[in-house]
Structure 1
Amino acid sequence: MKKISLFVLFLAAGVLAVAQKKSHQPLEPVSDHYKELQAFSAAVNPARAWMDTIKYPPAEYSSAIVYLLVKPYYLTDAQVKTLRESVKFPANSSDQVRKELDYMLDLQAKRTSEQEKRVRFLGDIGYWPWINLVPSHPSYEENLANLFFEGSELMGNEVNARNLPKVAKLLQGVMQDMRVMEFTIKYTLFRPRPYHLEPKLAPLTKINSPSFASGHTLWAFVQAFTWSEVVPEKRKNFIALAEEIRRSREIMGIHYPSDNEASRQLSYKMVQYYLQNPVFQKDLREAVAEWNAVSPKLVRR
């Protein structure tokens, strides 16, 4: 009897390992200019000590600071705290930041009108959980469309909340966590925006929240990773779209590359917590079942 029990345990462990191998995709290594810029020192450089006195100005705080009072959905409070403490940005005066600012100045000098049009479009995408609570809100439908931006951008406009309510529920939970995580970090670390440190930067817009970490990049990647659990064969496409979104923030002159790389790393850690959460697992199973049943009628070929 004992031998049979041990065999069953080993068999179950093997099945679990296979399941985990299928769902726990490794994070792509840091690459391109993100890797190159990390090679420079992130430590304080006394020659530029004045830069370390600059914080994000309180006069520019937005009402989004209230997300510090919102409870996470799939994450626990303890996980939010652990994630918040897992990321940090290089010192304002560091060689790394100086190189990042120079990189952004070069992007600014080279950006085209076509690039500006595209990055402004991407900059207007955003899902806000509180609007989802008010169906009469004038932005309610647009908000739901933005929730499904990555899915509809890659697979067509029929990939939406109305046709995929189980997928919508999954994404809404993820995005609530994303907003909690974003503003918990921003309003703990208060990193100034690049244009606060470099007067030659002419951003395409200005944002009323601290710079670190990038919210747009966080939602882009946490959704890319989540969508990849639902539609695994499209993972490369979702990652590529998330990459475009994060780079758009640098072209706009509003985020350092280190903001964006931190958000990519952070979003991956969030999904690893999700995959251990029974509520997320249930919602994911239902979303996958819905997708498999409905998507053949929706997705453009």
Structure 2
Amino acid sequence: MKLVSLMIFLSLFNTAYAQYDFLDAGDAIGPYPAKGSVEAKEEIEQMLYFQEHRTQADCDAADLQASANLETLFGGSLSDAEIKKVKKKLRLVTIKSGVEIYFTKREFKRPRPYLSHPEIKPCIELEKSTSYPSGHTTLARLYARLLAVIYPERADVFQELGDQAALNRVIGGVHHPSDIIAGKKLGDLLADEYLSDSKFKRELEKLGKK
């Protein structure tokens, strides 16, 4: 990361850190299935099923979401102008949520499925971070919840797109199904926290009326 970019990130992070209390998300989302358990074996079977039946179009769609942001996750349902103003409003939310995801992943340190199971062959860009919970899924669920407050008439669309983005991570071979479940839980925890701030919620509602 370039020095200027690093300085900007640290400045924004310090602002976010001073403004919000961080969650203890590990207990809330719970552990992932134990290695060798029935649940863990079933997960690999599910992933192998998707691997066998996915198409190139499925892989291409998942690969387009290698970066998790409003454009890649919800670009088809938001105009460029809407994305611009929403991104500005959610800048600190995005930073704080990224930190939450980082520390939660670090707590569990679950290997990616293709590292612990060589029979899993991803068809999208590999990841350097750990697997649990899914960061893409966390952001997809969080953004879907917040977008639904801004544009309530499109709430169902945002929910569907968020769920598909989460599923794409399993189809692409970079996440276990339980990573997705945990990511949705974390996304809901974050959304509940932000929306419990009545001022912030009102600001989101006004944003959709501008």
Q: Provide the TM-score with structure 1 as the length reference.
A: 0.60
Partner SS for 1:158 = helix
Matching of residue 227 in structure 1 with residue 169 in structure 2: no
Q: In structure 1, which of residues 102, 111, 115 is the aligned counterpart of residue 45 of structure 2?
A: 102
Residue equivalent to 2:3: none
Tell me, in whole angstroms, the C-alpha distance in 2 between the residues paired with 1:287 and 1:151: 17
Q: Does structure 1 retain, via aligned residues, the 8 Å contact 2:111–2:131? A: yes
Aligned residues: 196
What is the identity, as a one-letter code, of the residue corresponding to 2:48? L
Residue equivalent to 2:107: 188
Partner SS for 2:63 = helix
Q: In structure 2, which of residues 78, 89, 96 is the aligned counterpart of residue 155 of structure 1?
A: 78
Residue equivalent to 1:284: 201
Q: Give runs of aligned pairs for residues 47-196 of structure 1, distance below 5 A.
A: 70=13, 72=16, 75-77=20-22, 80-81=23-24, 83-87=25-29, 88-123=31-66, 125-126=67-68, 146-161=69-84, 164=85, 167-196=86-115
Tell me, in whole angstroms, the C-alpha distance in 1 between the residues paired with 2:71 and 2:102: 22
Tell me, in whole angstroms, the C-alpha distance in 2 between the residues paired with 1:149 and 1:207: 17
Q: 1:106 to 1:152 in 2, by over 3 A?
A: closer
Q: 1:283 to 1:168 in 2, by over 3 A?
A: farther
Q: 1:259 to 1:75 in 2, by over 3 A?
A: farther
Structure 1: gaps (5+ residues):
1-65, 127-145, 294-301
Tell me, in whole angstroms, the C-alpha distance in 1 between the residues paired with 2:88 and 2:79: 19
Larger radius of gyration: 1
Partner SS for 1:292 = coil
What is the identity, as a one-letter code, of the residue corresponding to 1:85? D
- Cα deviation, residue 227, structure 1: 0.6
Tell me, in whole angstroms, the C-alpha distance in 2 between the residues paired with 1:194 and 1:275: 33
Tell me, in whole angstroms, the C-alpha distance in 1 between the residues paired with 2:179 and 2:190: 16
Deviations 1:261-281 (A, max 9, x none): 11111111211111223xxx3
Partner SS for 1:122 = coil
Deviations 1:240-261 (A, max 9, x none): 0001100000011110010001
* Alignment RMSD: 2.1
Tell me, in whole angstroms, the C-alpha distance in 2 between the residues paired with 1:151 and 1:119: 13
- Cα deviation, residue 229, structure 1: 1.2
Q: Does structure 2 retain, via aligned residues, the 8 Å contact 1:147–1:172? A: no
RCO greater where, 1 or 2, for CA within 8 Å and sep 6 or more?
2
Q: Does structure 2 retain, via aligned residues, the 8 Å contact 1:150–1:238? A: no
Tell me, in whole angstroms, the C-alpha distance in 2 between the residues paired with 1:242 and 1:105: 23
Matching of residue 252 in structure 1 with residue 172 in structure 2: yes
Residue equivalent to 1:210: 130
Partner SS for 1:159 = helix
Structure 2: gaps (5+ residues):
1-8
Q: Does structure 2 retain, via aligned residues, the 8 Å contact 1:152–1:159? A: no
What is the identity, as a one-letter code, of the residue corresponding to 1:226? L
Deviations 1:131-183 (A, max 9, x none): xxxxxxxxxxxxxxx4454553213333231xx2xx33432122112211111
Tell me, in whole angstroms, the C-alpha distance in 1 between the residues paired with 2:134 and 2:78: 25
Partner SS for 2:52 = helix
Tell me, in whole angstroms, the C-alpha distance in 2 between the residues paired with 1:206 and 1:151: 22
Tell me, in whole angstroms, the C-alpha distance in 1 between the residues paired with 2:112 and 2:74: 30
Q: In structure 2, which of residues 192, 195, 201 is the aligned counterpart of residue 275 of structure 1?
A: 195
Partner SS for 2:32 = coil
